[in-house]
Structure 1
Amino acid sequence: MSVSVDLATVWAFIIAFAVFVYIVMDGFDLGLGILFPLFPAKADRDVIMNSVAPVWDGNETWLVLGGGGMMAAFPLAYAVLMPALYTPVIAMLLGLVFRGVAFEFRWRTRRERNLWDIAFAGGSLVAALAQGVALGAILQGVHVEGRHYAGGWWDWLTPFSILTGVALVIGYALLGATWLVMKTEGELRERAYHLSWIFLIAMLGAMGAVSIVTPFLHVQYTQRWFAWPNIILTAPVPIAVAGVSALLLRSLAKKYDYQPFSLSLMLFALSYAGLGISLYPYIVPQSITIWQAASPEKSQLFMLFGVAVLIPLILGYTAWAYWVFRGKVNTASGFH
């Protein structure tokens, strides 16, 4: 195996790691915004915002790392996918801008607080939906001719991409609800338990729908999941999903504090593993592999030294922030 193959694989895992960390860390953050309209009381909304205030902006560091890493390590894939996904990507960025501005401004005004609450909830919903739609558009494939995107402006908009968009919104809402279970007390926590039940059932239904449809988008997906002997390696994923789902239901029934959020993250991890099984080694499904899209060896090697320092640094300050602001949040005292 050549050095370029090794570097391309290493960078594929680095970018996959960065995207996954973004999904699980900013996912509950977006989920809180999606849940915002379900908590009309000002005191509840203040607690929800306080529960994520110390970490929300740092979570988005991973989005920058994933996107920037793809542009640098796999420039061909970036050049093909961006034109195919301009609309959902722009919608996602606008949603993140609105929710970020609303997060800061809602504390500085009383008369217009409801307006900023709407911006926070709407921005979160739009960003989450756009991310899921973009994922669905990538999975269903983009039209590539030579080294260029050759599809239309609206190719990303299909029933499957809408399904994945809705599924991700539901999943983020589950993360948000279980985060509130872990971080809040009293009636707010009880309400979060109730919503966790609802969104868990909805997420399992959405996962089932996406899992049923995905193998039939391309024959390669079908072969990857069901052909012998591949099925020996892929079968543990749905089995693990069933096991984790059962544990999550049990943890909600017993009203545990921390297990629901941890197990929800495990569901996302298993879903992400299933996505990797479907896609690898393609970075543009059915068109461009990671090796075809890779930048020159020297460029990837040079960037690897920087990432070797940057990722531990980001993980370190992120872990420190979560540790410092651990514990429950309430209206009277904030963290305690």
Structure 2
Amino acid sequence: MTLDLPLIWAGLIAVSVLLYVLLDGFDLGVGILFPFSHSQEDRDVMMNTVAPVWDGNETWLVLGGGGLLAAFPLAYSILMPAFYLPVVMMLAGLILRGVAFEFRFRGQRRGRPFWTAMFAVGSILAAFAQGLILGGFIQGVEVAGNRFAGGTFDWFTPYTLLVAFGLVCGYGLLGATWLMWKTTDALHGDARRWALFAGVLTALFLLAVSLSTLVVHPLVAARWGWTGAGFELGRFLPLSLIPLLGLLGLVIVGFGAARRSHVWPFAGAVLVFLSGYAGLATGFFPYVAPYAVDFRTAAAPDNALGLMLFGTAFILPLILGYTAWVYWVFRGKVTPGAGYH
């Protein structure tokens, strides 16, 4: 039996991006929530909840981006020129928050307010830029002769801004529910209120983005059953489980927060993101440069894909094992005075 290498690599990159969104999403969310915390001590605890894992979480972004370049070079050559500016914005935000993370703990006391602000700014900037990239990806990229043929600011539209604000709120939800899991006492109560507020905003933006997507691109609308001839219930029903999964996640967040649960709200937030990710995949698969180049057309030769897969088969289990080990070691609650110094 011959392995379908392009499909395998498409799946690996998709999983890498999903893991990045879920894992780095909650620590970006912690930074997004920084301006709402009440004291320096609370911000120290918030930062210490992600200190052991935040840089490892970004490994999945490297794997996803590097895998796209190596496995689907044609898609990479189209998408990078289309999103140069938001990619640079994202990297600037990630660098800024990384520097702020170290300097806030190790810098002089009088500089702490500045680095506290920069950690929040870097987190918001990175999340917002990712939303612009996502929105631009969904609305499609103009391609001619297997080259990007659009304009420099095609990614900057009302639709992409809507997606960007929605993603910031979604990351805020992940961050708040993560803090509910990892903190105690007053900070846990604050995180509960943040989770409820972020959950409402995420639900509203998710609804707005979903409806807007049906207007932005007819192909996506057709896949969900909305065609020029009307609504096809038979096409929509099998896909209806996807929005129901997101609704279930929001209900779990709400009930978990109302009952002051520690773990369930985070699980609900993860379900919301899984639903959104599945909905996106339904809309643009099999395209890797929507809606012009599919993953088979963009794939590297099979001999290159096979060689890379051989190496990945050894490296990926190590990354997964190390990640699981770190989360297990630091699985407990974080209290004031404990953590990174």
Q: Structure 1 stretches of 5 or more lacking a match?
A: none
2:155 aligned counterpart, secondary structure: coil
AA aligned opposite 2:165: V
Aligned residue in 2 for 1:239 = 244
CA contact (8 A) 2:249 2:270 kept: no
Residue equivalent to 2:15: 17
Structure 2 match to 1:138 = 137
In structure 2, C-alpha distance between the alignment counterparts of 1:279 and 1:84, rounded to whole Å:
17
Is the CA contact 2:196–2:253 (under 8 Å) kept in the aligned structure 1?
no
Query: What one-letter code is carried by the residue in structure 2 that aligns with 1:313?
Result: L
Deviation at 1:42, TM superposition (A): 0.7
Q: Is the 8 A contact 1:76 1:147 kept in 2?
A: yes
Residues in 2 aligned to 1:145 and 1:277: alpha-carbon distance in whole angstroms: 24
Alignment of 1:5-44 (within 5 A): 6-44=4-42
Cα distance per residue 1:98-122 (max 9 Å; x no partner): 0001101111121211111111100
Q: Which AA in structure 1 matches 2:130?
A: Q
The equivalent of 1:327 in structure 2 is: 332
Give the counterpart of 1:259 among 264, 274, 285.
264
1:105-116 to structure 2, matched below 5 A, reads 105-109=103-107, 110-116=109-115
SS in 2 for 1:111: helix
Change (3 A) 1:333 1:108: closer
Greater alpha carbon shift after TM alignment, 233-242 vs 44-53: 233-242
Inter-partner Cα distance in structure 2 for 1:265 and 1:242:
12
- SS of 1:330's equivalent? coil
Question: Any conservation in 1 of the 2:131–2:163 contact (CA below 8 Å)?
Answer: yes
User: Distance between the aligned counterparts of 1:280 and 1:229, measured in 2?
Assistant: 20
What is the CA–CA distance in structure 2 between the aligned matches of 1:291 and 1:258, rounded to whole Å?
A: 40
Q: Cα distance, 1:228 vs. partner?
A: 5.7
Do the aligned partners of 1:164 and 1:210 also contact (CA within 8 Å) in 2? yes
Q: Which residue of 2 aligns with 1:249?
A: 254
Report if aligned partners of 1:3, 1:297 keep a CA contact under 8 Å in 2. no
Q: Kindly state the Cα deviation for residue 3 of structure 1 after the two structures are TM-superposed.
A: 5.1
Secondary structure of the 2:288 match is strand
Aligned mates of 1:247, 1:261 — CA distance in 2:
9
2:170 corresponds to: 171
Q: Tell whether 2:309 aligns with 1:304.
A: yes
User: In structure 1, what residue type is equivalent to 2:68?
Assistant: M
- Counterpart of 1:275 (choices 274, 277, 280) is 280
Task: Identify the residue that residue 63 of structure 2 maps to in structure 1.
Answer: 65
Unpaired runs of 5+ residues, structure 2, are 226-231
Q: Secondary structure at the match of 1:152?
A: coil
Instruction: Note the C-alpha offset of 1:142.
Output: 1.2
Report the alpha carbon displacement of residue 334 of structure 1 after superposing the two structures with TM.
4.0
Q: Which moved more, 1:157-166 or 1:104-113?
A: 104-113
How far does residue 328 in structure 1 lie from its aligned partner after superposition?
0.6
Counterpart of 2:29, as a letter, is G
Alignment of 1:118-267 (within 5 A): 118-226=117-225, 227=232, 229-267=234-272
Q: Which shows bigger deviation, 75-84 or 306-315?
A: 306-315
How large is the Cα RMSD of the aligned pairs?
1.4
Aligned 8 A contact 1:142 1:284 in 2: yes
Q: List structure 1 segments (4+ residues) > 4 angstroms apart after TM superposition.
A: none
Question: Would the aligned equivalents of 2:246 and 2:273 in 1 still touch at CA under 8 Å?
Answer: no
Give percent identity, aligned residues only.
47
Q: Distance in 2 between matches of 1:114 and 1:102?
A: 10
Whole-angstrom distance in 1 between the partners of 2:234 and 2:5: 28
Amino acid at match of 1:102: A
Question: 1:155 and 1:297 mapped to 2: Cα distance?
Answer: 33
Q: Distance in 1 between matches of 2:193 and 2:297?
A: 48
Q: Distance in 1 between matches of 2:112 and 2:244?
A: 46
Partner of 1:87: 85
> How far apart, in 2, do the equivalents of 1:50 and 1:213 lie?
38
* CA–CA separation in structure 1 for the residues paired with 2:149 and 2:161: 22
Partner letter of residue 281 of structure 1?
Answer: P
Q: Does structure 1 conserve the Cα–Cα contact (< 8 Å) formed by 2:248 and 2:268?
A: no
Q: Could you state the TM-score of these two structures normalised by the residue count of structure 2?
A: 0.95
Cα deviation for residue 312 of structure 1 reads 1.1
Tell me: CA distance 1:228–1:298, structure 2 relative to 1, closer, same or farther (3 Å): farther
Q: Deviations over 1:242-262 (max 9, x none)?
A: 222222211111111101011
Contact 2:93/2:122 (<8 A) preserved: yes
Partner of 2:299: 294
Query: Normalized against structure 1, the TM-score is what?
Result: 0.96
Structure 2 Cα separation of the partners of residues 131 and 114 of structure 1: 26
Q: CA deviation at 1:23?
A: 0.3
Determine if contact 1:252/1:260 at 8 Å carries over to the other structure: yes
Contact 1:36-1:121 within 8 A present in 2 as well: yes
Query: Aligned equivalents of 1:49 and 1:247: distance in 2?
Result: 26
Amino acid at match of 2:117: I
